[in-house]
Amino acid sequence: EVQLVESGGGLVQPGGSLRLSCAVSGLKIDEYAMHWVRQAPGKGLEWVSRISWNGDNVGYADSVKGRFVISRDNVKNSLSLQMNSLSSEDTALYYCAKDMEWEGGGEGPFDYWGQGTLVTVSS
């Protein structure tokens, strides 16, 4: 069974930093792009970032560009998101998602999702 398990969420003050992790089991992610998608409470989905299967290509939503950094460890079969300069607008449930395309560049779609980790930015 494929499982994506996010961790690292929590309460952080505005301007603070947080590092999210996503541990994947049940399949090797080293040939698939990976993504982070977030959902603010009661709101819709927002794509945050992607990293290609080999890590050579990354992309960010304009709302997080320059503040968030995505990375992956194909040996540990995991994904990370370093979030800096956080604001209340970053408060959301953060999902890790696997790209469906083998050795794709990260255009989607997302065939496996984790259950999310909640990030709350508040003083």
Partner 1 sequence: QSALTQPASVSESPGQSVTISCTGPSSAFGTYNYVSWYRQYPGKAPQLLIYHVNNRPSGVSSRFSGSKSGSTASLTISGLQAEDEADYYCSSYTRVSNIVFGTGTKVTVL
Footprint of partner 1 (CB under 8 A): 35, 37, 44-47, 50, 59, 61-63, 95, 100, 106-111, 113-116
CA dist 116 and 123 (Å) reads: 22
Which residue type occupies 26?
G
The neighbour count for residue 103, using CB atoms within 10 Å, is 12
Cβ at position 78, least distance to partner 1 in Å: 18
Which residue, 16 or 47, is less far from partner 1 as judged by CB? Answer: 47
Q: Going by C-beta distance under 8 Å and a sequence separation of 6 or more, which residues neighbour residue 66?
A: none
Which residue, 54 or 115, is less far from partner 1 as judged by CB? Answer: 115
Which residue, 30 or 40, is less far from partner 1 as judged by CB? Answer: 40
